Amino acid sequence: MEHEWDVFISHASEDKETVNELAKMLVKMGIKVWFDKFTLRLGDSLRDSIDYGLSKSRYGVVVISKNFFEKEWPKKELNGFIAREICEKKVVLPVWHDISQEEVLNFSPILADKLAAKTSDGLNEVANQITLVVNNWKDTNVTDIILAQEAKETSKNESKKYVVFQKYKTQIILVIISFLLLYYIIINISGVQNHLGVMYANGIGVVKNEIKAVEWYRKAAEQGNAEAQSNLGFMYASGRGVAKDDAKAVEWLLKAAEQGVAAAQYNLGMMYEDGISVSKDAFQAVEWYRKAAQQGHVQALYSLGRMYESGKGVAQDQVQAVKLLSKAAERGDVYAQFSLGGHYYSGKGIDKDKAKAFGWYSKAAEQGYVGAEVRLGIFYESGDVVQKDIAKAVEWYRKAAEQGDGYAQGRLFQIENER
Protein backbone atom coordinates (compact mmCIF):
# COMPACT_ATOMS: atom_id res chain seq x y z
CA MET A 1 0.00 0.00 0.00
CA GLU A 2 1.26 3.47 -0.90
CA HIS A 3 1.58 5.85 2.03
CA GLU A 4 1.08 9.58 1.61
CA TRP A 5 2.20 10.36 5.16
CA ASP A 6 4.84 8.82 7.42
CA VAL A 7 2.82 9.26 10.60
CA PHE A 8 -0.76 10.03 11.65
CA ILE A 9 -0.94 11.72 15.06
CA SER A 10 -3.94 10.62 17.14
CA HIS A 11 -4.58 12.74 20.23
CA ALA A 12 -7.16 14.36 22.47
CA SER A 13 -7.96 18.00 21.64
CA GLU A 14 -6.93 19.08 25.17
CA ASP A 15 -3.36 17.96 24.37
CA LYS A 16 -3.20 19.84 21.06
CA GLU A 17 -0.65 22.43 22.28
CA THR A 18 1.91 19.73 23.14
CA VAL A 19 1.07 17.68 20.04
CA ASN A 20 1.37 20.76 17.84
CA GLU A 21 4.96 21.30 19.04
CA LEU A 22 5.78 17.64 18.45
CA ALA A 23 4.30 17.79 14.94
CA LYS A 24 6.37 20.88 14.10
CA MET A 25 9.55 19.12 15.27
CA LEU A 26 8.78 16.07 13.14
CA VAL A 27 8.13 18.21 10.06
CA LYS A 28 11.47 19.98 10.57
CA MET A 29 13.11 16.54 10.69
CA GLY A 30 11.62 15.73 7.27
CA ILE A 31 8.75 13.55 8.47
CA LYS A 32 5.46 13.74 6.55
CA VAL A 33 2.83 14.26 9.24
CA TRP A 34 -0.96 13.93 9.11
CA PHE A 35 -2.06 16.32 11.87
CA ASP A 36 -5.47 18.00 11.70
CA LYS A 37 -4.02 21.50 12.11
CA PHE A 38 -1.74 20.93 9.10
CA THR A 39 -3.93 18.72 6.93
CA LEU A 40 -7.61 19.70 7.27
CA ARG A 41 -8.82 22.62 5.15
CA LEU A 42 -12.02 24.64 5.44
CA GLY A 43 -14.91 22.63 4.05
CA ASP A 44 -13.23 19.23 4.40
CA SER A 45 -15.31 16.39 5.82
CA LEU A 46 -13.76 15.57 9.22
CA ARG A 47 -14.64 11.87 9.15
CA ASP A 48 -13.65 11.35 5.50
CA SER A 49 -10.35 13.22 6.00
CA ILE A 50 -9.45 11.25 9.13
CA ASP A 51 -10.36 7.91 7.50
CA TYR A 52 -8.18 8.83 4.51
CA GLY A 53 -5.31 9.89 6.81
CA LEU A 54 -5.54 6.61 8.76
CA SER A 55 -5.35 4.51 5.61
CA LYS A 56 -2.56 6.53 3.97
CA SER A 57 -0.17 6.80 6.95
CA ARG A 58 2.64 4.30 7.58
CA TYR A 59 2.54 4.65 11.37
CA GLY A 60 0.07 5.87 13.94
CA VAL A 61 1.61 8.03 16.68
CA VAL A 62 -0.91 7.68 19.53
CA VAL A 63 -0.48 10.30 22.29
CA ILE A 64 -1.84 8.52 25.36
CA SER A 65 -3.06 10.79 28.18
CA LYS A 66 -5.89 11.02 30.69
CA ASN A 67 -7.72 13.22 28.19
CA PHE A 68 -7.26 10.53 25.48
CA PHE A 69 -9.07 7.94 27.60
CA GLU A 70 -12.13 10.21 27.90
CA LYS A 71 -12.52 10.74 24.13
CA GLU A 72 -14.40 8.49 21.72
CA TRP A 73 -12.89 9.79 18.44
CA PRO A 74 -9.18 9.17 19.32
CA LYS A 75 -10.08 5.68 20.60
CA LYS A 76 -11.74 4.93 17.23
CA GLU A 77 -8.54 6.02 15.50
CA LEU A 78 -6.57 3.65 17.75
CA ASN A 79 -8.98 0.81 16.85
CA GLY A 80 -8.25 1.55 13.20
CA PHE A 81 -4.51 1.13 13.68
CA ILE A 82 -4.99 -2.02 15.80
CA ALA A 83 -7.12 -3.51 13.01
CA ARG A 84 -4.30 -2.79 10.53
CA GLU A 85 -1.73 -4.52 12.75
CA ILE A 86 -3.62 -7.75 12.21
CA CYS A 87 -2.43 -7.74 8.58
CA GLU A 88 0.65 -5.51 8.69
CA LYS A 89 3.84 -5.06 10.68
CA LYS A 90 4.18 -2.63 13.57
CA VAL A 91 1.84 0.33 13.09
CA VAL A 92 1.21 1.88 16.53
CA LEU A 93 3.91 4.12 18.05
CA PRO A 94 2.70 5.05 21.56
CA VAL A 95 3.70 8.28 23.32
CA TRP A 96 2.78 8.69 27.00
CA HIS A 97 1.89 12.22 28.05
CA ASP A 98 1.55 13.06 31.77
CA ILE A 99 0.33 9.56 32.63
CA SER A 100 1.58 6.56 34.62
CA GLN A 101 1.90 2.94 33.57
CA GLU A 102 -0.78 1.97 36.09
CA GLU A 103 -3.25 4.41 34.51
CA VAL A 104 -2.50 3.03 31.04
CA LEU A 105 -2.84 -0.54 32.35
CA ASN A 106 -6.30 0.21 33.76
CA PHE A 107 -7.38 1.45 30.32
CA SER A 108 -5.68 -1.12 28.08
CA PRO A 109 -3.28 -3.94 28.98
CA ILE A 110 -2.12 -3.95 25.36
CA LEU A 111 -0.94 -0.35 25.45
CA ALA A 112 0.64 -0.83 28.87
CA ASP A 113 2.73 -3.71 27.48
CA LYS A 114 4.16 -1.55 24.72
CA LEU A 115 7.33 0.35 25.67
CA ALA A 116 6.61 3.91 24.71
CA ALA A 117 8.27 7.26 24.20
CA LYS A 118 7.45 9.69 27.02
CA THR A 119 6.97 13.45 26.85
CA SER A 120 8.50 13.66 30.32
CA ASP A 121 11.83 12.91 28.60
CA GLY A 122 11.36 15.99 26.42
CA LEU A 123 9.63 16.46 23.07
CA ASN A 124 13.00 16.47 21.27
CA GLU A 125 13.68 12.96 22.53
CA VAL A 126 10.19 11.81 21.45
CA ALA A 127 10.65 13.33 17.99
CA ASN A 128 14.09 11.70 17.64
CA GLN A 129 12.71 8.26 18.51
CA ILE A 130 9.84 8.58 16.02
CA THR A 131 12.22 9.83 13.31
CA LEU A 132 14.53 6.84 13.82
CA VAL A 133 11.59 4.48 13.37
CA VAL A 134 10.40 6.17 10.17
CA ASN A 135 13.73 6.86 8.47
CA ASN A 136 16.22 4.27 9.65
CA TRP A 137 14.47 1.43 11.45
CA LYS A 138 11.50 0.59 9.22
CA ASP A 139 11.48 -3.05 10.23
CA THR A 140 11.56 -2.33 13.95
CA ASN A 141 9.70 -0.11 16.44
CA VAL A 142 10.06 2.29 19.33
CA THR A 143 10.61 -0.62 21.71
CA ASP A 144 13.79 -1.60 19.87
CA ILE A 145 15.11 1.95 19.97
CA ILE A 146 14.56 2.29 23.71
CA LEU A 147 16.18 -1.10 24.33
CA ALA A 148 19.15 -0.13 22.17
CA GLN A 149 19.63 3.12 24.10
CA GLU A 150 19.42 1.29 27.42
CA ALA A 151 21.94 -1.27 26.18
CA LYS A 152 24.53 1.44 25.63
CA GLU A 153 24.31 2.36 29.30
CA THR A 154 24.58 -1.18 30.66
CA SER A 155 27.70 -2.92 31.81
CA LYS A 156 29.73 -5.18 29.53
CA ASN A 157 28.07 -8.18 31.13
CA GLU A 158 24.60 -6.79 30.45
CA SER A 159 25.65 -5.95 26.90
CA LYS A 160 26.44 -9.62 26.27
CA LYS A 161 22.94 -10.54 27.43
CA TYR A 162 21.52 -7.93 25.09
CA VAL A 163 23.44 -9.41 22.14
CA VAL A 164 21.82 -12.79 22.84
CA PHE A 165 18.41 -11.10 22.97
CA GLN A 166 19.11 -9.31 19.69
CA LYS A 167 19.86 -12.62 18.00
CA TYR A 168 16.33 -13.85 18.71
CA LYS A 169 14.67 -10.43 18.92
CA THR A 170 12.52 -10.71 15.79
CA GLN A 171 11.05 -14.07 16.78
CA ILE A 172 10.34 -12.91 20.35
CA ILE A 173 8.68 -9.69 19.26
CA LEU A 174 6.51 -11.46 16.67
CA VAL A 175 5.29 -13.91 19.32
CA ILE A 176 4.50 -11.05 21.73
CA ILE A 177 2.68 -9.02 19.07
CA SER A 178 0.66 -12.05 17.94
CA PHE A 179 -0.36 -12.78 21.52
CA LEU A 180 -1.34 -9.18 22.22
CA LEU A 181 -3.34 -8.88 19.00
CA LEU A 182 -5.15 -12.14 19.76
CA TYR A 183 -5.90 -10.86 23.27
CA TYR A 184 -7.21 -7.57 21.88
CA ILE A 185 -9.42 -9.35 19.34
CA ILE A 186 -10.88 -11.57 22.06
CA ILE A 187 -11.77 -8.67 24.39
CA ASN A 188 -12.88 -6.25 21.68
CA ILE A 189 -13.77 -8.38 18.68
CA SER A 190 -16.96 -6.47 17.89
CA GLY A 191 -15.05 -3.17 17.70
CA VAL A 192 -12.59 -4.64 15.21
CA GLN A 193 -15.41 -6.20 13.19
CA ASN A 194 -17.25 -2.88 13.01
CA HIS A 195 -14.09 -1.11 11.88
CA LEU A 196 -13.57 -3.70 9.16
CA GLY A 197 -17.13 -2.97 8.05
CA VAL A 198 -16.32 0.75 7.84
CA MET A 199 -13.20 -0.03 5.81
CA TYR A 200 -15.14 -2.15 3.28
CA ALA A 201 -18.07 0.31 3.11
CA ASN A 202 -15.77 3.21 2.25
CA GLY A 203 -12.90 1.47 0.48
CA ILE A 204 -10.36 2.42 3.15
CA GLY A 205 -7.23 0.32 2.62
CA VAL A 206 -9.29 -2.36 0.84
CA VAL A 207 -11.39 -2.64 -2.33
CA LYS A 208 -14.82 -1.16 -1.61
CA ASN A 209 -17.32 -3.97 -1.04
CA GLU A 210 -20.63 -3.05 0.60
CA ILE A 211 -21.79 -6.67 0.82
CA LYS A 212 -18.73 -7.53 2.95
CA ALA A 213 -19.31 -4.35 4.94
CA VAL A 214 -22.80 -5.57 5.84
CA GLU A 215 -21.40 -8.98 6.83
CA TRP A 216 -18.91 -7.40 9.27
CA TYR A 217 -21.47 -4.93 10.61
CA ARG A 218 -23.87 -7.81 11.29
CA LYS A 219 -21.24 -9.86 13.16
CA ALA A 220 -20.50 -6.88 15.43
CA ALA A 221 -24.13 -5.78 15.75
CA GLU A 222 -25.26 -9.22 16.91
CA GLN A 223 -22.73 -8.93 19.75
CA GLY A 224 -24.32 -5.65 20.87
CA ASN A 225 -21.86 -3.18 19.31
CA ALA A 226 -23.89 0.05 19.13
CA GLU A 227 -21.91 1.67 16.30
CA ALA A 228 -22.29 -1.48 14.19
CA GLN A 229 -26.03 -1.61 14.91
CA SER A 230 -26.33 1.98 13.70
CA ASN A 231 -24.27 1.25 10.58
CA LEU A 232 -26.26 -1.89 9.80
CA GLY A 233 -29.52 0.01 10.23
CA PHE A 234 -28.30 2.65 7.78
CA MET A 235 -27.36 -0.03 5.22
CA TYR A 236 -30.86 -1.53 5.43
CA ALA A 237 -32.46 1.93 5.17
CA SER A 238 -30.40 2.89 2.11
CA GLY A 239 -30.29 -0.55 0.46
CA ARG A 240 -26.49 -0.55 0.34
CA GLY A 241 -24.94 -4.04 0.32
CA VAL A 242 -28.29 -5.57 1.25
CA ALA A 243 -31.90 -5.48 0.04
CA LYS A 244 -33.62 -2.33 1.29
CA ASP A 245 -35.73 -3.21 4.34
CA ASP A 246 -37.15 -0.31 6.36
CA ALA A 247 -38.50 -2.60 9.10
CA LYS A 248 -35.06 -4.09 9.77
CA ALA A 249 -33.55 -0.60 9.52
CA VAL A 250 -35.84 0.57 12.34
CA GLU A 251 -35.04 -2.54 14.39
CA TRP A 252 -31.27 -2.00 14.30
CA LEU A 253 -31.42 1.79 14.55
CA LEU A 254 -33.60 1.53 17.66
CA LYS A 255 -31.07 -0.79 19.34
CA ALA A 256 -28.25 1.67 18.58
CA ALA A 257 -30.29 4.76 19.49
CA GLU A 258 -31.16 3.33 22.89
CA GLN A 259 -27.42 2.91 23.49
CA GLY A 260 -26.87 6.60 22.72
CA VAL A 261 -25.53 6.57 19.14
CA ALA A 262 -26.34 10.04 17.78
CA ALA A 263 -26.45 9.01 14.11
CA ALA A 264 -29.00 6.28 14.90
CA GLN A 265 -31.08 8.70 16.97
CA TYR A 266 -31.14 11.15 14.07
CA ASN A 267 -32.07 8.50 11.48
CA LEU A 268 -34.77 7.15 13.77
CA GLY A 269 -36.16 10.69 14.13
CA MET A 270 -36.44 10.95 10.34
CA MET A 271 -38.29 7.62 10.14
CA TYR A 272 -40.80 8.73 12.79
CA GLU A 273 -41.26 12.09 11.07
CA ASP A 274 -41.94 10.46 7.69
CA GLY A 275 -43.74 7.36 9.01
CA ILE A 276 -41.25 4.88 7.50
CA SER A 277 -42.03 1.40 8.93
CA VAL A 278 -43.36 3.10 12.08
CA SER A 279 -46.49 5.09 12.78
CA LYS A 280 -45.96 8.70 11.78
CA ASP A 281 -45.28 10.53 15.03
CA ALA A 282 -43.88 14.08 15.05
CA PHE A 283 -43.54 14.05 18.85
CA GLN A 284 -41.34 10.93 18.77
CA ALA A 285 -39.37 12.48 15.91
CA VAL A 286 -38.69 15.58 18.01
CA GLU A 287 -37.51 13.50 20.97
CA TRP A 288 -35.03 11.52 18.88
CA TYR A 289 -33.81 14.65 17.11
CA ARG A 290 -33.34 16.28 20.51
CA LYS A 291 -31.27 13.38 21.87
CA ALA A 292 -28.98 13.49 18.83
CA ALA A 293 -28.78 17.30 18.86
CA GLN A 294 -27.70 17.26 22.51
CA GLN A 295 -24.67 15.27 21.34
CA GLY A 296 -23.88 17.90 18.69
CA HIS A 297 -25.17 15.96 15.66
CA VAL A 298 -25.30 18.66 12.97
CA GLN A 299 -28.20 17.31 10.91
CA ALA A 300 -30.21 16.72 14.08
CA LEU A 301 -29.63 20.34 15.12
CA TYR A 302 -31.04 21.48 11.77
CA SER A 303 -33.99 19.06 11.90
CA LEU A 304 -34.91 20.04 15.46
CA GLY A 305 -34.66 23.71 14.48
CA ARG A 306 -36.96 23.00 11.55
CA MET A 307 -39.51 21.36 13.88
CA TYR A 308 -39.50 24.43 16.17
CA GLU A 309 -39.74 26.63 13.10
CA SER A 310 -42.93 24.92 11.86
CA GLY A 311 -44.40 23.92 15.23
CA LYS A 312 -44.35 20.27 14.18
CA GLY A 313 -44.31 17.94 17.19
CA VAL A 314 -43.43 20.83 19.49
CA ALA A 315 -44.77 24.29 20.32
CA GLN A 316 -43.73 26.73 17.59
CA ASP A 317 -40.81 28.86 18.78
CA GLN A 318 -38.93 30.93 16.19
CA VAL A 319 -36.32 32.11 18.70
CA GLN A 320 -35.41 28.54 19.63
CA ALA A 321 -35.45 27.61 15.95
CA VAL A 322 -32.90 30.34 15.18
CA LYS A 323 -30.62 29.16 18.02
CA LEU A 324 -30.58 25.59 16.71
CA LEU A 325 -30.25 26.60 13.05
CA SER A 326 -27.33 28.89 13.95
CA LYS A 327 -25.43 26.03 15.58
CA ALA A 328 -25.93 23.83 12.53
CA ALA A 329 -25.19 26.64 10.05
CA GLU A 330 -21.94 27.56 11.79
CA ARG A 331 -20.83 23.94 11.37
CA GLY A 332 -21.48 24.01 7.63
CA ASP A 333 -24.97 22.51 7.22
CA VAL A 334 -26.19 23.99 3.92
CA TYR A 335 -29.90 23.62 4.72
CA ALA A 336 -29.45 25.41 8.04
CA GLN A 337 -27.48 28.19 6.33
CA PHE A 338 -30.30 28.76 3.83
CA SER A 339 -32.99 28.67 6.55
CA LEU A 340 -31.02 31.05 8.76
CA GLY A 341 -30.73 33.44 5.82
CA GLY A 342 -34.53 33.38 5.59
CA HIS A 343 -34.91 34.24 9.28
CA TYR A 344 -32.57 37.21 9.00
CA TYR A 345 -34.39 38.36 5.87
CA SER A 346 -37.87 38.11 7.42
CA GLY A 347 -36.98 39.00 11.01
CA LYS A 348 -38.62 35.86 12.44
CA GLY A 349 -37.08 34.93 15.79
CA ILE A 350 -34.27 37.46 15.35
CA ASP A 351 -33.75 41.10 14.42
CA LYS A 352 -34.22 41.67 10.71
CA ASP A 353 -30.84 42.06 8.98
CA LYS A 354 -30.71 41.72 5.20
CA ALA A 355 -26.91 42.00 5.15
CA LYS A 356 -26.63 38.91 7.36
CA ALA A 357 -29.29 37.21 5.28
CA PHE A 358 -27.14 37.84 2.20
CA GLY A 359 -24.11 36.42 4.04
CA TRP A 360 -25.84 33.14 4.95
CA TYR A 361 -27.39 32.80 1.50
CA SER A 362 -23.89 33.25 0.06
CA LYS A 363 -22.49 30.43 2.21
CA ALA A 364 -25.29 28.10 1.09
CA ALA A 365 -24.91 29.13 -2.57
CA GLU A 366 -21.18 28.40 -2.44
CA GLN A 367 -22.15 24.81 -1.57
CA GLY A 368 -24.43 24.65 -4.62
CA TYR A 369 -27.79 25.03 -2.86
CA VAL A 370 -30.15 26.05 -5.66
CA GLY A 371 -32.54 28.12 -3.52
CA ALA A 372 -29.65 30.21 -2.24
CA GLU A 373 -28.35 30.72 -5.79
CA VAL A 374 -31.76 32.12 -6.77
CA ARG A 375 -31.75 34.44 -3.72
CA LEU A 376 -28.35 35.85 -4.68
CA GLY A 377 -29.61 36.43 -8.21
CA ILE A 378 -32.54 38.41 -6.79
CA PHE A 379 -30.24 40.45 -4.52
CA TYR A 380 -27.93 41.42 -7.40
CA GLU A 381 -30.79 42.07 -9.83
CA SER A 382 -32.66 44.34 -7.41
CA GLY A 383 -29.65 46.03 -5.82
CA ASP A 384 -31.06 45.22 -2.38
CA VAL A 385 -28.25 45.32 0.22
CA VAL A 386 -25.57 44.89 -2.47
CA GLN A 387 -24.79 47.08 -5.45
CA LYS A 388 -27.00 46.27 -8.44
CA ASP A 389 -25.08 44.02 -10.83
CA ILE A 390 -27.02 42.33 -13.64
CA ALA A 391 -23.96 40.32 -14.73
CA LYS A 392 -23.67 38.73 -11.29
CA ALA A 393 -27.43 38.23 -11.15
CA VAL A 394 -27.25 36.34 -14.45
CA GLU A 395 -24.31 34.30 -13.14
CA TRP A 396 -26.28 33.08 -10.10
CA TYR A 397 -29.52 32.60 -12.04
CA ARG A 398 -27.62 30.48 -14.56
CA LYS A 399 -26.20 28.25 -11.80
CA ALA A 400 -29.71 27.71 -10.45
CA ALA A 401 -31.20 27.23 -13.93
CA GLU A 402 -28.66 24.49 -14.67
CA GLN A 403 -30.10 22.64 -11.68
CA GLY A 404 -33.59 22.95 -13.20
CA ASP A 405 -34.97 25.87 -11.19
CA GLY A 406 -37.95 27.30 -13.09
CA TYR A 407 -37.86 30.77 -11.55
CA ALA A 408 -34.18 31.23 -12.48
CA GLN A 409 -34.86 30.01 -16.01
CA GLY A 410 -37.68 32.54 -16.33
CA ARG A 411 -35.57 35.43 -15.06
CA LEU A 412 -32.76 34.57 -17.49
CA PHE A 413 -35.23 34.56 -20.39
CA GLN A 414 -36.68 37.92 -19.27
CA ILE A 415 -33.27 39.55 -18.82
CA GLU A 416 -32.08 38.37 -22.23
CA ASN A 417 -35.22 39.81 -23.88
CA GLU A 418 -34.74 43.17 -22.17
CA ARG A 419 -31.20 43.58 -23.48
* For residues 33-50, average pLDDT: 52
Q: How much is the pLDDT for 208?
A: 92
- Would you say residue 218 has pLDDT above 70? yes
Residues 81 and 58: their CA atoms lie apart, in Å, by 10
CA 373, 374, 378, 384 torsion-angle sign: negative
What's the first-to-final CA gap in the chain, in angstroms? 59
> For 79-111, how does the pLDDT look when each residue is reduced to its tens digit (9 = 90+)?
655 555 545 556 778 888 888 877 877 776 666
Query: Model's pTM, two decimal places?
Result: 0.58
Residue 94 phi, psi dihedral angles, 5° rounding: -80, 145
* Per-residue confidence band for 58, with pLDDT thresholds at 50, 70 and 90: confident
> For 308-355, how does the pLDDT look when each residue is reduced to its tens digit (9 = 90+)?
999 999 999 999 999 999 999 999 999 999 999 999 999 999 999 999
Q: How much is the pLDDT for 137?
A: 46
Instruction: Tell me the catalytic residues.
Output: 77
Q: How much is the pLDDT for 390?
A: 94
Helix or strand holding residue 62 (H, E):
strand 57-64
Does domain 5-158 fall into CATH 3.40.50.10140?
A: yes
Residues 209 and 20: their CA atoms lie apart, in Å, by 36
Q: Which of 138, 55, 124 is nearest to 93 (CA)?
A: 138
* Per-residue confidence band for 49, with pLDDT thresholds at 50, 70 and 90: very low
> For 246-283, how does the pLDDT look when each residue is reduced to its tens digit (9 = 90+)?
999 999 999 999 999 999 999 999 999 999 989 999 99
Please state, rounded to an integer, the average pLDDT across all residues of the chain: 82
Q: How much is the pLDDT for 220?
A: 92
- Would you say residue 30 has pLDDT above 60? yes
More confident residue, 29 or 68: 29
What residues have CB less than 8 Å from 89, skipping those under 6 apart?
Answer: 139
